[in-house]
Structure 1
Amino acid sequence: MKRSVLKFGGSSVSDFSKIKDLADYLKSRINKNEQLIVVVSAMGKTTDDLLTSVSHLTANPNDKDLAMLLNTGEQQTISFLSLALNDLDVRTKPLTGYQAGIETRGHHLKSKISSIESDFLENLFESNDLLIVAGFQGFNEVGELTTLGRGGSDTTAVALAAALNCTCEIYTDVTGVFSTDPRIYSNAKRWEMISFEEMMEMSALGAGVLETRSVELANNHNIPIYLGKTLSDEKGTWIVPNDQMLERKAVTGVALDKEMAHVTITYPLDSKTFLTDLFYKLEGAEINIDMISQIQNQEGLQLSFTVKESEEKDLNYLFDVLRESYTNLYVKIETTYCKLSVIGAGMRDMTGVASKIFKTLLTSDIPFYQVTTSEISVSYVVDENYGEKAARLLCEAFDL
């Protein structure tokens, strides 16, 4: 009997009509002799609404309490979907992350999955055709509820597929992976197939189609992912191991990350102790930084890096703590920039990509301030008001 994990995002279950339509679709899959694990997100903008409601109570919510609250969004969805499926005589079992045995480690609001009780889930199929699992959530080693952070339902789905050794299908409101956001460039191409490596890079650099950790998990456990539009007959995109890609383009995509903060740190004294403390605290707070550049001269240290804009609150707290020991510390956090990245596994073997990017930006009078490269990507910090124009120009330059 074929078994699959299917994940449906918040837009796919945003109202009761969509939940009923989804239940009909799932019943049709069950009728084809399939066993399904369905992972769902909170309905529509429920998570955002819950966060807004918290702001009416406190400006500094406790992470444990916030995780407890945010868990309720997905719990609603699994209950509603199970009710709809029961009406269709489908044997279902709705499970919170805790009930599904999804154990996590790390901070309450951005935990990582450490283990899943796969034997327990296997046994549930003896009396059920379909399991509905709340995405985005789990529990830690002391039994407290946790969340996996934004996009965490993708990670839940891939982790379940890896634990149960089956395929993973992720459904959302887009028809697959495009060369760039079609809302920015209407002629963006949709790929039928893309490698794990390229998808990880695109996700990490701002493409919001899939959560980065979910692709990393799929790569580590060799679980191909199908990304498609909910209840659509349009063909989606397969994200597959690198060795299944028969042909590689020099450039696969252009990612634009608008939710980025640019941090500049100046410290005029001996920087070794300060840098040790800084990176120790960044690691402890689980704040990921990118595009790091450092200048050390007679005037002291200047360090720049980029970070997700959502980390700004934690960063400010971290710098407040550091200033208690380093009174000459100067920090500037700016959110008027964006990160523009060009990605493609073919860059390893093909020349001229970087020079083409530079020429495109220079001839269009688009200034850039910081550049970093990896084996398969080149990223630039540009003014936010130039970001979309630059993305369109690069897509045209590379025929994307």
Structure 2
Amino acid sequence: MERSILKFGGTSVSSLGKIKEIANYLKKRVEQGEQLVVVVSAMGKTTDQLLQQVSSITSTPNEQDLAVLLTTGEQQTISYLSIVLNDMAVKSKPLTGYQAGIETVGHHLKSKISRINNTLFEQLFETYNVLIVAGFQGFNTNNEITTLGRGGSDTTAIALAAAHECPCEIYTDVAGVYSTDPRIYPQAKRLDSVSYEEMMEMSALGAGVLVTRSVEIAKNYNIPIYLGKTLSDAKGTWIMSQTEMLEKKAVTGVALDKDMIHVTLNYPHYDTSLMDAAFINLEQEEINVDMISQIVNNEGLQLSFTMKDTEERQLHTIFFRLKQDYPSLYYKIENHFVKVSVIGSGMRDMTGVASKVFRTLIEADIPFYQVTTSEISISYVVDARNSEKAAHLLCERFEL
């Protein structure tokens, strides 16, 4: 019997009406002879609402308590969907991350999947046609509930696809991957296919379609991902190995990362122990930093880097600790910058991309403050007020 892994995002299950429509779709696939593992997110803005309620109680919630609370959103969705399916005479069973055997390691709110007990699914499929798994969650070695962080439901779905050795279908409110955000550049083209490497770069640089770690799992286990619009006949995008793609463009897409902050540290003299302490603290808090630059001169040390704005609370805690040992440390956190990036696997073999980007920004009088490159991307930090203008111009320059 063919087995398929499907995932439906929060907007796709944001109402009971939409959940019923998805149930009808799943019933048709079961009648065609499929066994389905369906991963779902919390309904609509449920997770945001839970976080807002917590913020009215405290600004420093215990992470273990918060993980228990946040996972209730997905559990609500799996229950509703399974109730509807069973009412339609489709044998269905809802599973929390714990019940699905999704073992994790790491912080309670930013855990990583270490193992999935696949034997359980084989046993359940002897009785059920649809297994509905709560995305975003798992459990650790202490049997405590954990969450997988931002985009965790995608990670759950692709990890399950790897465990079952089959492709993963992810359904959301957009019809695939576009060359850039259509809300910013309406002429953006939908991509028929994109490589794992390009998708990882686009995700890391702010595209917001899939989180990087989920694509990395797909790449490691060679799991094709289909990204499409929920209950739509519109063609979506395949994310797959570079070797399966026939054509490589110099630039595939332009990404904007608006959810970033720019951090600057100043210290009166060059002190490697300060930098060592800073990066040890960042590592312990599992904070990823990006676009690092360092200046050492007569005025001392200046260290700058960018990072996600979701980690700002932990950052203030780190700097408070550092100032106990380094009272002369000065730091500044700014949120009026945006990272604009061009991405394309063809950059490996084609010249002139960096030159085109530089000229485009300079001719438009758009200043940039930091630049970083990889084999398949070039990123610039620009003022937020110039970010969408930069994206428009770069899309036009590279005919995206």
Q: Is the 8 A contact 2:254 2:341 kept in 1?
A: yes
Q: Please tell me whether residue 191 in structure 1 is matched to residue 203 in structure 2.
A: no
Q: 1:93 is matched with which residue?
A: 93
2 CA distance for matches of 1:379 and 1:167? Answer: 31
| Residue 298 (structure 1) shift | 2.9
Instruction: Please give the TM-score of this superposition, normalised by the length of structure 2.
Output: 0.99
| Residue 80 (structure 1) shift | 0.2
Q: Please tell me whether residue 122 in structure 1 is matched to residue 139 in structure 2.
A: no
What does 1:131-150 correspond to in 2, within 5 Å?
131-150=131-150
Q: 2:339 is matched with which residue?
A: 339
| Residue 270 (structure 1) shift | 3.6
**Per the alignment, in what secondary structure is the counterpart of residue 178 of structure 1?**
coil
Q: Please tell me whether residue 265 in structure 1 is matched to residue 268 in structure 2.
A: no
Q: 2:106 is matched with which residue?
A: 106
Name the aligned partner's letter for residue 160 of structure 2.
Answer: L
Q: 1:362 is matched with which residue?
A: 362
Q: 1:214 is matched with which residue?
A: 214
Any idea what the Cα deviations from partners look like across 1:226-281, whole Å, max 9, x if unmatched? Answer: 00000000000000011111110000000000010000111123421111111111
**Per the alignment, in what secondary structure is the counterpart of residue 99 of structure 1?**
coil
1 CA distance for matches of 2:216 and 2:210? Answer: 11
Q: Is the 8 A contact 2:108 2:147 kept in 1?
A: yes
Name the aligned partner's letter for residue 131 of structure 2.
Answer: L
Any idea what the Cα deviations from partners look like across 1:129-176, whole Å, max 9, x if unmatched? Answer: 010000000111101111111111000000000011111000000000
Name the aligned partner's letter for residue 167 of structure 1.
Answer: P
Q: Is the 8 A contact 1:192 1:236 kept in 2?
A: yes
Structure 2, unaligned runs of 5 or more = none
1 CA distance for matches of 2:184 and 2:138? Answer: 35
| Residue 191 (structure 1) shift | 0.5
1 CA distance for matches of 2:135 and 2:296? Answer: 45
Any idea what the Cα deviations from partners look like across 1:326-355, whole Å, max 9, x if unmatched? Answer: 111110000000000000000011111001
Choose 255-264 or 266-275, whichever is displaced more: 266-275
Q: How many residues align?
A: 400
Name the aligned partner's letter for residue 365 of structure 2.
Answer: D
Q: Please tell me whether residue 236 in structure 1 is matched to residue 240 in structure 2.
A: no
2 CA distance for matches of 1:271 and 1:18? Answer: 57
Name the aligned partner's letter for residue 53 of structure 2.
Answer: S
Name the aligned partner's letter for residue 241 of structure 1.
Answer: S
Q: Is the 8 A contact 1:250 1:345 kept in 2?
A: yes
**Per the alignment, in what secondary structure is the counterpart of residue 392 of structure 1?**
helix
1 CA distance for matches of 2:119 and 2:242? Answer: 30
2 CA distance for matches of 1:268 and 1:88? Answer: 70
Name the aligned partner's letter for residue 85 of structure 2.
Answer: L
Q: 2:276 is matched with which residue?
A: 276
2 CA distance for matches of 1:166 and 1:93? Answer: 21
Any idea what the Cα deviations from partners look like across 1:170-226, whole Å, max 9, x if unmatched? Answer: 000000000000000000000001100000000000000111111000000000000
Q: 2:33 is matched with which residue?
A: 33
| Residue 359 (structure 1) shift | 0.7
Name the aligned partner's letter for residue 67 of structure 1.
Answer: A
1 CA distance for matches of 2:142 and 2:122? Answer: 25
Q: Is the 8 A contact 1:3 1:167 kept in 2?
A: no
Q: 2:47 is matched with which residue?
A: 47
Superposition misfits of 4+ residues, deviation over 2 angstroms:
none
2 CA distance for matches of 1:346 and 1:55? Answer: 46
- Cα RMSD (Å): 0.7
**Per the alignment, in what secondary structure is the counterpart of residue 226 of structure 2?**
strand
Q: Is the 8 A contact 1:295 1:303 kept in 2?
A: yes
**Per the alignment, in what secondary structure is the counterpart of residue 12 of structure 2?**
helix
2 CA distance for matches of 1:123 and 1:392? Answer: 52
Name the aligned partner's letter for residue 186 of structure 2.
Answer: S
Q: 2:292 is matched with which residue?
A: 292
Q: Please tell me whether residue 301 in structure 1 is matched to residue 292 in structure 2.
A: no
**Per the alignment, in what secondary structure is the counterpart of residue 325 of structure 2?**
coil
2 CA distance for matches of 1:224 and 1:300? Answer: 50
Q: Is the 8 A contact 2:270 2:296 kept in 1?
A: no
Q: 2:247 is matched with which residue?
A: 247
1 CA distance for matches of 2:91 and 2:324? Answer: 59
Q: Is the 8 A contact 1:225 1:239 kept in 2?
A: yes
**Per the alignment, in what secondary structure is the counterpart of residue 249 of structure 2?**
coil
Name the aligned partner's letter for residue 144 of structure 2.
Answer: E
Structure 1, unaligned runs of 5 or more = none
Q: Is the 8 A contact 1:168 1:225 kept in 2?
A: yes
Q: 2:394 is matched with which residue?
A: 394
1 CA distance for matches of 2:125 and 2:349? Answer: 48
Q: 1:60 is matched with which residue?
A: 60
1 CA distance for matches of 2:242 and 2:328? Answer: 48
